């Protein structure tokens, strides 16, 4: 397959491109800088049609859209919220326009989304049949998915990847926490009772590859089948690194330090991967201990 990938330099995108290339697929990385190789193509998420030249996606079998500014970098000022929205909604809108402009359109679009779509679920389990939540991240995820709707209406198979916390050694939450835990500074956040829906980077990449080749469309939760509380995640990471983690950061301190973005750390989301499992996908690391051990050992 010839597959175009946005967000190809991020934690997930880098691993996805490597996996697909090793499997024999032709991977075209859509990048925002000047291309450095024949396998790269410049695009502009903010421009009409993604700033892509006419026919850029000709002969492309599938598009994987992983682009989006990180939600956990800095306070959510009005300008920051605009950036988060534009990088997802405008970027997806332009990418879909480029897909539809091709005389021979790609047949598949796997487009990013997030479990934030469900809002705060508390201790209640949620899957793809559950209703939407409220709040900034829930609204952002809804608009992100809606931007891909024209592709579906045009007959392209679209799967929205509602992704949880991706655990990979080289970046994301695990990449930031592991050095602190190694110094004995691991800490529970708030009460620690809030659920965290997570997935190992290995299974995230395997699931994306799986969805490329299986006739699955609509929302798909990319989360492991066993969500854990923040306290359980903290204890599991401490075990994996053989370090103590007896500290706690009070909710009030997080809110004072980070403002509205602290809600991402304190919200409870107990999201299950019903569609993936019904489609026959099997997780390599379904539990938090095996996932952390494997990802921390990976080079």
Torsion from C-alpha of 216, 156, 35, 55, nearest 10 degrees = 160
Separation between Cα atoms, residue 126 and residue 144, nearest integer Å: 20
Q: Which CATH fold topology does 2-297 show? A: Rossmann fold (3.40.50)
Using alpha carbons only, how large is the chain's radius of gyration in Å?
19
Q: Is residue 257 predicted with pLDDT exceeding 80? A: no
pLDDT confidence of 55, banded at 50, 70, 90?
confident
Q: Which of 81, 80, 106 is nearest to 95 (CA)?
A: 106
Q: Is residue 236 predicted with pLDDT exceeding 80? A: yes
- Confidence at residue 290, expressed as pLDDT on a 0 to 100 scale: 97
Separation between Cα atoms, residue 195 and residue 252, nearest integer Å: 19
**Which has more pLDDT, 138 or 74?**
138
Would you give the DSSP letter of residue 24?
Answer: T
Per-residue pLDDT reduced to its tens digit, 31-53:
999 988 889 999 998 888 788 88
Question: What are the Cα distances from residue 7, in Å, to 121, 229, 249, 293?
Answer: 28, 29, 32, 26
**Which has more pLDDT, 16 or 257?**
16
Per-residue pLDDT reduced to its tens digit, 96-112:
999 999 999 999 999 99
Q: In angstroms, how far apart are the furthest CA atoms of the chain?
A: 59
Are 106 and 156 a contacting pair, CB within 8 Å? yes
Residue written as token pair 């800088």: 33
pTM of the full structure: 0.95
Q: Where are the domains of the chain?
A: 2-297
Per-residue pLDDT reduced to its tens digit, 174-222:
998 999 999 998 999 899 999 999 999 999 999 999 999 999 999 999 9
Per-residue pLDDT reduced to its tens digit, 118-128:
999 999 999 99
Pairing assessment for the beta strands 62-65 and 2-6 based on DSSP bridges: parallel
Q: What is the mean pLDDT of residues 51-56?
A: 84
Cβ-in-10-Å burial (0-12, 13-18, 19+) of 233 comes to: buried
* Mean pLDDT of all residues belonging to the chain: 93
The tokens of 63 are what?
């598009």
Q: Is residue 259 predicted with pLDDT exceeding 90? A: no
Q: Is residue 245 predicted with pLDDT exceeding 90? A: no
């Amino acid at each position: 397959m010839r597959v175009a990938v946005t967000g190809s330099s991020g934690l997930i995108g880098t691993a996805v491109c490597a996996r697909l290339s090793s499997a024999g697929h032709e991977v075209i990385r859509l990048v925002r800088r000047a291309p450095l190789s024949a396998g790269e193509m410049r695009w502009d998420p903010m421009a009409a049609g993604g700033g892509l030249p006419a026919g850029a996606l000709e002969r492309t079998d599938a598009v994987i859209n992983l682009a989006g500014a990180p939600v956990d970098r800095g306070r959510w000022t009005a300008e920051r919220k605009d950036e988060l929205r534009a990088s997802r909604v405008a970027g997806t809108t332009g990418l879909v326009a480029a897909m539809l402009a091709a005389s021979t359109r790609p047949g598949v679009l796997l487009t990013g989304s997030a479990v934030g779509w469900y809002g705060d679920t508390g201790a209640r389990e949620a899957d793809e049949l559950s209703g939407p939540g409220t709040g900034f991240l829930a609204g952002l995820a809804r608009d992100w998915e809606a931007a891909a709707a024209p592709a579906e209406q045009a007959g392209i198979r679209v799967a929205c990847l509602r992704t949880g916390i991706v655990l990979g050694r080289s970046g994301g939450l695990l990449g930031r926490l592991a050095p602190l835990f190694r110094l004995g500074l691991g800490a529970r956040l708030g009460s620690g009772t809030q659920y965290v829906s997570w997935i190992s980077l290995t299974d995230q990449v395997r699931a994306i590859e799986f969805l490329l080749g299986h006739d699955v469309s609509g929302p798909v939760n990319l989360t492991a089948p066993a969500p854990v509380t923040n306290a359980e995640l903290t204890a599991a990471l401490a075990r994996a690194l053989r370090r103590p983690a007896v500290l706690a950061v009070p909710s009030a301190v997080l809110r004072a330090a980070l403002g509205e973005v602290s809600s991402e750390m304190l919200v409870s989301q107990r999201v299950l991967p019903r569609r993936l499992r019904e489609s026959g996908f099997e997780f390599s690391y379904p539990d938090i201990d095996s996932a952390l051990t494997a990802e921390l050992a990976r080079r």
